[in-house]
Structure 1
Amino acid sequence: MPRISIPKVVGFKKEAETIIKQLIYGSKEREVVLIIGMGGLGKTTLAKKVYEEKNVANHFDKRAWCIVSQEYDCKNLLNKIYNDVCGDKTEIDNVAEELRKSLMGRRYLIVLDDIWSEEAWEELNRVFPSCDNGSRIVLTSRQESVVSDAKHICRLPFFTIDESLKLLHVKLFKGKGCPEGLENVGRKISKKCGGLPLTIGLIAGVLEKVEKCEQMWHEFLLTLNSHVAFGDGIQSNDAIELSYKYLSDHLKPCLLYCIPKG
């Protein structure tokens, strides 16, 4: 068995290796792999990590990536998949039939990212042929109930403190190393993020606006500790609120355009 190389992404090394082996060395049947976890835990990151791995890309004849989301248009999604598979940018009326024809006899990998309901999966699933050639479909979802025929299920864990700190360093210092004196306070800040990669990323975005010195980071940590909503761990909405607080005054009105009407 050839060595599997994993792209340099913080966390999920064990999970990525397991899924890659399932994609490449599984049975000849068309198999479904389900990645589940709460929002912000890194499902899409793990799916991309696997999808872009060189051995995976070389193993499949055709690949396609599609974001489903809670509200979706099946025809538009199938057109997106068809474009990825065929390298064609046109929209066709009978896309389901044409997509099925283009996948027939080919070993394909389809990623359906952020799928919310069993109905959405059933509607999309009927298009993908079972050719007994090792084709695979990867789904990411917050709910295990969206699919009943998953051959493999990957339940994402929360980040450890070490992984949280590493991600914080990657976001802030781009692999150049943490400045002296910030390691300990950075670890305390990372611990406050509760092992959720989304929250770590949001906090890193705020820390980019804070002077990189021990005193300023300690003051930032005190801000986290004094925020009543944080409790033992920062929630993503709290981190967004904090991001707004540290946003430049001339940029704050821009967020008004992001507020949905109604």
Structure 2
Amino acid sequence: MLPSADTLAQRQLPTDLSVEQLAEQCRVSVRLVRAHQSRRLLHPPRRVGRRSVYDHSHIDRLELIQRLQRAGFSLAAIRALLQTGHNAPELALAWHAEGLAMRFPSPTDTSDPDLQVEPEGVADLHAQPGAWEALESYGLVSRAPDGNWHGTHPVLVAVGRRAREMGLPSTEITRLQLRVAAAALELSREILEAFTPIFALRAPAPRPGDDAAENGLVSDRTRLIEDYAGMSSVATALVSATFEVQLSRVVRGVVGIPSAPV
């Protein structure tokens, strides 16, 4: 495969870049580059004598930040994704792109059949009184101004498709989605209650008459956002792994396989 024009342009750049060259290459201001560094979105440059030297990895990072921002991710969310590491930012972008196409047209809407997701399942949902509204109450779908419904998480759409392929009726899929959503909502509140006192202890109380920014409240708010982003990944892993273990135990019992020794 031939290299892209952007790749060729990068190869023609010097290996060591000044902050001005980096900003020019990414079509941003030097001030924005430094702001991303202060927010720890952009890794620091190398020091060569008295000079700060950037390289192509900084270009890649700035371009990734720009892509995430264009997709609607906040800087706090971008930082959490970058800290997660691996392919989390690219996965988030893929989910977002798929989410844009997750339109559930009404049975009478044939304006863009290519965007239909599970036409049979959608028809079944339309046939269930109040199903869309119930799913919306848990944030699983949203309604657009044109009256069409959209899935809010592509993984859930894929799970519904797979369950339908395995023969589970759409009404049962909806019932399970709502039950799991209700249980997850209550569990999320309980996890939040457990973590909140710990996070609150880290935030100093404001002093009367102090400006919020001068008192560090802006940075404290940013840190709290990061705390909750970290809590989210821990809680998700905890719930996912625990559910997997318990489901495995139930399945083993049903099919007659002894549980693995502890």
TM-score (norm 1): 0.30
Instruction: Mark the structure with the bigger radius of gyration.
Output: 2
TM-score, normalised via structure 2 length: 0.30
Query: Which structure has the highest helix share of the two?
Result: 2
